[in-house]
Amino acid sequence: MFVTLTAPSFGAVHVRREKNGRVLPCHARRNAVTCPHGRVMSCTAKHGPTEDRLGEPLCPDCYDYTGSVLFNAVSPELWRRFTEALRRRFARVSGLTLKELRDQLTISFAKVAEYQRRGVVHFHAVIRLDGPTGPTSTPPPWATADALAQAVQHAVGAVTVTAANHTLRWGAQLDIRQITMTGDLTEQAVAAYIAKYATKAAECVGTLDRRIHNLEELGLYRLREHARRLIAECLRLGAVEGLADLRLAQWAHMLGFRGHFSTKSRRYSTTLGALRAAREEHMRTEQITTGRLALFEEDTVLVVAHWEYAGQGLSAGDQILAAALTGTRLPDVSGGTR
């Protein structure tokens, strides 16, 4: 199954909506209410696909910035609970204990996190059913695609995570599609889809690709207001007692999300242009954060704007540039996938 788990709403944002190839008004409301800050909660614009306003709140003062960054911060835990709930549900409907289930069925997951323009992550996941020993064995006949879809539906609604008196859960929007070898959603289509989303990173929100340590430093960057407020909220919550585990200040530049996108960042490669831009930005960061090497810290997800399949292996020029950039000897990558 190819499953998309979404974040809930944290307030109305500008969106581009299309129906039958026509662009619809963003938030057309006949009797639109005026919010406590005096803003009319309506927008009749037909937004273009690259407009800066997309994903930004109709009223930033009404927008739940706390909920938004907390959702990102707990989403890896929410995901973990979802996978557990799914296994439990499968066991329960088939009248088995969890252990008995494991003896008959393996449920495996591959996922990618995608930033929405409003600054929250969605998860796209491939969920696969196999027999007890994995892909080499067949799942029992009762473990059908329908049974999986129903269990997913149940598990998504069943899990929550509480942080700072906020109860975070998945959004109501849930997309479940079956992957087939021949139909609309083939394995190849899913692979292409995931590759596309793996590259649509936080910068589509207009945030930064390096750590921000305090509000003063945040003030040095020219950012759109929405991204600035999301980062500022991470810094604020990062200092709240009881939230230390979420390491929100450390991951403020990722708007609170600290998971990996789908695998180790180093597995992703990049284009020459992106490398050059990264090097320039790194130089700039160095001047601000005396001696800290922000871009290539161990856990950092390398954020690139455009990513495309360029072929196998690295060219000599790429290798020299990459070595200069990281200051390390490269592992043998010949035959690897760029």
Q: List contacts with Zn ion (CB under 5 A).
A: 14, 26, 35, 37, 43, 45, 59, 61-62
Q: How far is the CB of 36 from Zn ion (least distance, A)?
A: 6
CA distances, 224 to each of 39, 52, 60, 129, 247 (Å) = 19, 9, 12, 43, 23
Q: How far is the CB of 11 from Zn ion (least distance, A)?
A: 9
62 or 288: whose CB is closer to Zn ion?
A: 62
Give the C-alpha separation, 14 to 52, whole Å. 10
Q: Phi and psi at residue 4, in whole multiples of 5°?
A: -115, 120
Q: How far is the CB of 200 from Zn ion (least distance, A)?
A: 21
Say if residues 1 and 178 touch (Cβ distance below 8 Å). Answer: yes
12 or 314: whose CB is closer to Zn ion?
A: 12
Please state, as a whole number, how many other Cβ atoms lie within 10 Å of the Cβ of residue 306: 10
The pair of structure tokens assigned to 97 is 């204990």
Q: How far is the CB of 203 from Zn ion (least distance, A)?
A: 21
Q: How wide is the angle at C-alpha 200 spanned by C-alphas 195 and 205, nearest 5°?
A: 170
Q: How far is the CB of 9 from Zn ion (least distance, A)?
A: 15
Contacts of residue 222, defined as CB under 8 A and 6 or more positions apart, other chains included, come to none
43 or 303: whose CB is closer to Zn ion?
A: 43
30 or 329: whose CB is closer to Zn ion?
A: 30
Q: How far is the CB of 118 from Zn ion (least distance, A)?
A: 12
Helices marked H in 253-338 — which ranges? 272-288, 316-326
37 or 222: whose CB is closer to Zn ion?
A: 37
* DSSP class of 176: E
13 or 73: whose CB is closer to Zn ion?
A: 13
